[in-house]
Amino acid sequence: MSLINRRATAIYYDVEIFYCICKLNCRYTTVSKLLYAAPQKSKADLSWDVIHKFPIDWNRTIVLHRTMTMRRTKIICTTGPATESEESLRQLIGRGMDVCRLNMSHGTHEWHARQIRVVRALSQEQNRAVAIMLDIQGPKIRTSRVQGGSIVLRAGDDVTIQSSDIIGDACHIGVRYPLFAKEVSDGQTIMIDDGRIRMVVVSTDGGCVEAKVVVGGVLTDKRGVSVPEAHFSVPSVTEKDKKDISFGIEHNVDYIAVSFVRRASDISGVKQMIHEQEVDIPVIAKIETKKGLDNFPEILKVADGIMVARGDLGVEIPIEEVPITQKRLIAESNASGKPVITATQMLESMIHDAIPTRAEATDVANAILDGTDAIMLSGETTIGDYPIESLSMMDRIARTTESVGWRMHTDADADVTGLSIERSIGHAVCQLACNLNAAAIITTTYSGSTATVVSMYRPKTPIIAITPDEATFSRLALIWGVTPLRIPAVGTTDEAMDASVRSAMDAGFAKAGDRVVLTTGVPIFVSGTTNLITVRVVE
């Protein structure tokens, strides 16, 4: 039966036109306007254009409204000068920030420690799980500071690049890597600030590189430098990174993101450092180099999550390949059950403008339709003029996209034979919740793995993760569709399930008469023991 013949009702409250971002047979495009607001319109009147090809369950009412249902896709905000105040952080948490990212390329340990303290206090105050992600700099080569904070480089200018931390000007630029001049060659392209500024190496001499500007622009302090054709000998984890990792361990951060991952051993090395301190912090691999892309299958096996860092990746590979590469990385991460983050320049224009471009809105929506667990704001919330508005806009785009586009991973025709016990239970829970039209899926979990497995199947039903563990409570803030709730540890499985249902009711996810699907393990709150599914009618 053609989707165009199915019932579709669009209810509009305070806007006249909604734009839908539609997925057409695995191809993505911005399409059609929903111009028909009245439910009484006949099927023949509904001019869906190409939207009828969109794989959505049109049998359910679509409610497009600012206050629509909970957002499943998580939002990461990077904090910086624009959001360092307590009031700004309070607003970010109140408006829906799920993960606070600390960019260790900037700021002191004292500054980051204060951000951690404030975010955790506000998280407690607002009773919301907010994870802390420490993003280490990695082997990133950066320019030094420049006079006045910014200089203008024009196409055709001759520039001397010194392998030292000088104060740069329009004729001389410092690069904070002592071997830079020795490891680049004549004719190679130097890309600065994600390729916004481009130069060609004319000659090298000792500690200096003579270059000619090909694409000019404004250069500010400490911008990233990439030379795709060069092979730098900088270690994957620098001494600064090691100090930053120790800082993160000391402050019990929830995730550590590793930059410029080139091979699986880069992640294994960081994990070893963490385990030597007798702690367990999930490690996110940032894919932003050609080498990392080539070795992605091996990296995915050892990483706890993936970040598609499109800025540097778009310098390392042809920019026209970035969209397809993003979709591939997200799809493979989804299949492995690892959370995946889409990052860089998502609402870049909102650094200075109050609204994003239409292309940026489409970019955010497409990442969600691709299956990303989280979407990230960087400059928008670190140095932008509209940090709170950027978060609100991303939240609105996500909610609207989720309301019309849902990629279910519980297809009845899917081959689910040979799964682990945990994945089999996760799949069964989602299918059962769908069949019963359950109000919630409730998982009692100590490590968070059960909730994460359920999440990978992308159920429409809200996933409520009940845990007594503070670290698990925070970490689950990153996982798609999961709302973590805390309860004290209890003695028996029955007591835990009773307490879990009460918590879900108190949080507004279930009411008397609703069906809920619960999954837990015996013994209760022991990692790796998930072996029980039950259905309850809430009383």
In the predicted structure, residue 58 carries a pLDDT above the cut 50: no
Mean pLDDT score across all residues of the chain: 85
Q: Which residue has the higher pLDDT, 405 or 440?
A: 440
CB 526, CB 472: distance < 8 Å: no
- Provide the pLDDT confidence category of residue 205 given band limits of 50, 70 and 90: confident
| pLDDT one-digit tens code per residue, 403-423 | 886 555 544 334 555 678 888
- Provide the pLDDT confidence category of residue 495 given band limits of 50, 70 and 90: confident
| pLDDT one-digit tens code per residue, 230-261 | 888 888 899 999 999 999 999 999 999 999 99
Helices (H), 109-255: 109-126, 180-183, 239-250
In the predicted structure, residue 67 carries a pLDDT above the cut 80: no
- Span 419-439, average pLDDT: 90
Is the pTM of the predicted complex or chain greater than 0.85?
no
- Work out the burial of residue 386: count CB atoms within 10 Å of its CB; fewer than 13 is exposed, 13-18 middle, 19 or more buried: buried
CATH of domain 141-226: 2.40.33.10
Query: Which architecture does CATH list for 74-138+239-404?
Result: Alpha-Beta Barrel (3.20)
Q: Give Cα 124 distance to the centre of its chain.
A: 23
Could you tell me where in the chain the CATH 3.40.1380.20 domains are found?
Answer: 421-537
Is 450 an active-site residue? no
**Quick one: pLDDT at residue 416?**
55
Q: Say how far apart CA 194 and CA 456 lie, in whole Å.
A: 32
- Provide the pLDDT confidence category of residue 128 given band limits of 50, 70 and 90: very high
- Provide the pLDDT confidence category of residue 521 given band limits of 50, 70 and 90: confident
Is 286 an active-site residue? yes
The active-site residue out of 223, 271, 286, 458 is: 286
Q: Say how far apart CA 174 and CA 160 lie, in whole Å.
A: 9
Q: Which residue has the higher pLDDT, 107 or 412?
A: 107
The active-site residue out of 73, 189, 342, 344 is: 344
Cis peptide bond prior to 178, omega within 30° of 0:
no
Query: Which architecture does CATH list for 421-537?
Result: 3-Layer(aba) Sandwich (3.40)
Give the CA angle between residues 517, 457, 24 to the nearest 5°. Answer: 130
The active-site residue out of 23, 72, 101, 262 is: 101
**Quick one: pLDDT at residue 30?**
32
Q: At 472, which amino acid appears?
A: T
- Span 506-518, average pLDDT: 94
**Quick one: pLDDT at residue 520?**
85
Q: Three-class SS of residue 241?
A: helix
**Quick one: pLDDT at residue 404?**
82
Q: Say how far apart CA 98 and CA 92 lie, in whole Å.
A: 9
Give pairs for 350-356: CB < 8 Å, separation 24+: 350/380, 350/384, 350/386, 350/389, 350/390, 350/393, 351/379, 351/380, 351/383, 351/384, 351/385, 351/386, 352/384, 352/385, 353/386, 354/386, 354/389, 355/393, 356/390, 356/393
Query: What is the total residue count of the chain?
Result: 539
Helix (H), strand (E), coil (C) string for 156-182: CCEEEEECCCCCECCCEEEECCCCHHH
| pLDDT one-digit tens code per residue, 286-309 | 999 999 999 999 999 999 999 999
Q: Three-class SS of residue 126?
A: helix
Could you tell me where in the chain the CATH 2.40.33.10 domains are found?
Answer: 141-226
**Quick one: pLDDT at residue 430?**
93
Is 101 an active-site residue? yes
**Quick one: pLDDT at residue 68?**
45
**Quick one: pLDDT at residue 409?**
55
Could you tell me where in the chain the CATH 3.20.20.60 domains are found?
Answer: 74-138+239-404
Q: Say how far apart CA 273 and CA 155 lie, in whole Å.
A: 45
Q: Which residues contact 80 (CB under 8 A, 6 or more apart)?
A: 103, 106, 107, 381, 382, 383
Rounded to whole angstroms, what are the CA distances from 535 to 134, 507, 523, 532? 39, 19, 19, 10
The active-site residue out of 23, 71, 72, 142 is: 142
Is 536 an active-site residue? no
